[in-house]
Structure 1
């Protein structure tokens, strides 16, 4: 048998030595500034913050818990709702005050009256 040629036969057998030293990039120059002298102002007393509830818009000067505030707001809404102005406002309040059972009975009586009004020839 003859010589066996390999695929890698065309490559040289010498290994190339590569310098694998990491290149160090020069660091940019950092400008260090000295802090400027602090300007002293006339000292004023420290201000205290205020809560939004203390703006004077509330009817109660005392602080209310969230549940109490919700109750007060619901009472105000209820009073305003009851101020039904005019005939239509009163009718609306009557309808709203009806329980569901009465409301369903009214609807059923209206439907019965409509059926009775239909005349068959």
Structure 2
């Protein structure tokens, strides 16, 4: 055989081998379909858990904000109540009542005063 014929035969054989290899080559995935499904379900659970956690934290934040608002209102009202109680004690002092009574023309008659004792 001549050199040219030999090269031609070798070329045909290599082309056939390449065609056979390309046809037989099967693309393999590194994950099976079952593993893919499990992975998707797991990812879904993780996403659901994260969203649930964030929404609960948001609700807790809102409730704490409302509690702080109510506590501030309570403190304000307690301050107003203390101020009013101080005013009441100032206005109900004996000297002030006696002064107002004199301004209105009233006077104390010791004969008309009756002492009431507690039992």
Q: TM-score, normalised by structure 2?
A: 0.27
Higher normalized contact order (CA 8 Å, seq sep 6+, divided by chain length): 1
TM-score (norm 1): 0.27
**Higher Cα Rg, which structure:** 2
